[in-house]
Chain A
């Protein structure tokens, strides 16, 4: 078996992400999917602000850097101008489910033909680990120091409960908590991009991702962040494909 890094990645450049951050894994998975589908010359990445935006500096793709919470709607604008291009919006959970939730919902209702790849690490990472819409009940963050209490702080947002009955092309949740989940999630990315190529419409793929720095495992030697994902994050946010409208050639 041979595994080589995709050409879209700047392999000799060090990323701005913290040690153990899932963004690097996910960016590599996207690059692999883009390469496998032969989309390198027709691919536009639309980033949000903060950690996810750092992908622009370690990849070769042309990038639109949208405002916080406006990644999905800006990506939809670009896609409508260039329907022949493949557009991936890469917001975090705060962007897609909190400040930008109206556009997440309405882009789904309009079935905009883009992929919203939502990196869910259950915190606002770049600002130092505040409570995000996805912070788990009981999760201690710098703005929920006693642990998130749904009665006090509101309940976490589950995209599957909200978009689960919408008439969209694809809704799935993957994870990078293990090599097996990375392989499964990589297939989800490829499937969603294929659906965009086929003109099926709105795809939202949420990927659970570790933030060791803000989860309190900054010097992780034993994969504690991965344990936390498997024991907490994935229990609260089950993995799977929830909408897969017309199936796909690439199952």
Chain B
């Protein structure tokens, strides 16, 4: 296939179209806006629906209605706007509806700033809204992966009838790289027997409301546990680099994983046995990647664009807290490979590395 040069956000949008997404509703916010802009003309070409809504709340709740009607529906936002989506994400989860939502992360709480950041990890992986739920969260680290993950996100969402979130960031969304786009697919809105349209004679009534209203509060816990266990078993995704003999393993996703790869190369050139686990699924966290490591690993170093070290807890859990877990975070600057190697070397010398 031919490669084209594309911006991360636009490759994401195009891959959603090619995955059969024919419904987009959203609101502008930097650094996500290119998705919205791209959809504004591309949906027109493919006969889909594009709605620039009055707010993020309207965007996600319009997706709720569209998903219930059977469409492959998408909304995208960033930081402050993504917070507003939480109501609808909780409703999608509680109602068993598939949809894809992208958070092109920026830095800081409140308004923060439009620069790249990874400070939404807790919100993304812990549920984010009210109630007992998590969503599948996929974190691209390149323009190609923006397209690849967008393409499978709808399939995953429909497989479990559950929202899937793409955790991108300003750097991944804004960078321009060559990308091989997937082939065009169409989605049949009547593909599933649960979609909402007028009830035909003899059919059971379909009520797209809280699942536990339907099955009863007694049956719901087992149903939900089973769904989450299946997602945890089947949807772990990751990339491991030079871990076979690594004594220290970096753990980084998205933009931080790109510089971490550089750091591994740099460290190896200096004889430092450094490796990398790059979670592609932030939830389910790739436990299997950690289980596969050898006994030579003496510690882990989380590299993130956050101040508090949001992924550290997950790494501590994934390694069973058997070895030290260090943290190197940056706020508005992308972590430096040189500093990563320095911190990694310090950890290998028995020093504690935090923040």
Q: Which residues of A contact B (CB under 8 A)?
A: 39-44, 46-47, 53, 56, 60-67, 70, 73-82, 85-86, 102-103, 105-106, 110
Contacts and interface: CB of A to CB of B under 8 A. Distances in A.
A74 B209 CA distance: 13
Interface string B178-213: 000000000001000000111111000111111000
A80 B201 CA distance: 24
A44 B61 contact: no
Contacts of B345: none
A103 B70 CA distance: 22
Given A44-B197, A74-B62, A80 B206 contact: no
A102 B198 contact: no
A61 B57 CA distance: 26
B184 to A, nearest CB: 19
B198 A70 contact: no
Given A41-B199, A62-B196, A62-B198, A74 B68 contact: yes
A74 B196 contact: no
Contacts of A46: 65
B46 to A, nearest CB: 14
Nearest to B97: A64
B64 A67 contact: yes
Contact of B189 (A76, A79, A81, A103): A81
B136 interface: no
B208 A63 contact: yes
Contacts of A47: 209
Among B55, B61, B200, B201, which residue has the most Cβ atoms of chain A within 10 A? Answer: B61
A78 B65 contact: yes
A73 B198 CA distance: 19
Contacts, number: 131
A102 B54 contact: yes
B62 A81 contact: no
Contacts of B54: 102-103, 105-106
Contacts of B95: 65
B23 interface: yes
B51 interface: yes
A58 to B, nearest CB: 11
B66 interface: yes
A80 B53 CA distance: 13
Closest 7 CB pairs of A and B: A77-B65, A65-B209, A74-B65, A70-B61, A77-B62, A81-B69, A42-B198
B198 A44 contact: yes
A80 B49 contact: yes
Contacts of A67: 61, 64, 87-88, 91
B129 to A, nearest CB: 11
Contacts of B58: 70, 73, 102-103, 106
B168 interface: no
A240 B171 CA distance: 56
B280 interface: no
B205 A62 contact: yes
B201 A44 contact: no
Contacts of B199: 40-41, 43, 60-62
A65 B63 contact: no
B25 interface: yes
Contact of B198 (A53, A56, A64, A85): A85
Interface in B55-99: 55, 57-58, 61-71, 73, 87-88, 91, 95
20 contacts: A39-B198, A41-B198, A60-B199, A62-B196, A62-B206, A64-B65, A66-B64, A66-B65, A67-B87, A70-B57, A76-B62, A77-B67, A77-B68, A78-B196, A80-B23, A81-B70, A81-B73, A86-B198, A103-B58, A106-B53
Contacts of B209: 47, 53, 56, 63, 65
A18 B61 CA distance: 29
B272 to A, nearest CB: 52
Contacts of A110: 51
B65 A75 contact: yes
Contacts of B88: 67, 70
Given A73-B65, A106-B54, 17 more contacts: A39-B198, A42-B197, A47-B209, A56-B205, A64-B196, A67-B87, A70-B87, A77-B23, A78-B69, A79-B65, A80-B51, A81-B65, A81-B189, A82-B69, A102-B55, A103-B58, A103-B61
Contacts of B91: 66-67
Contacts of B22: 81
A78 B66 contact: yes
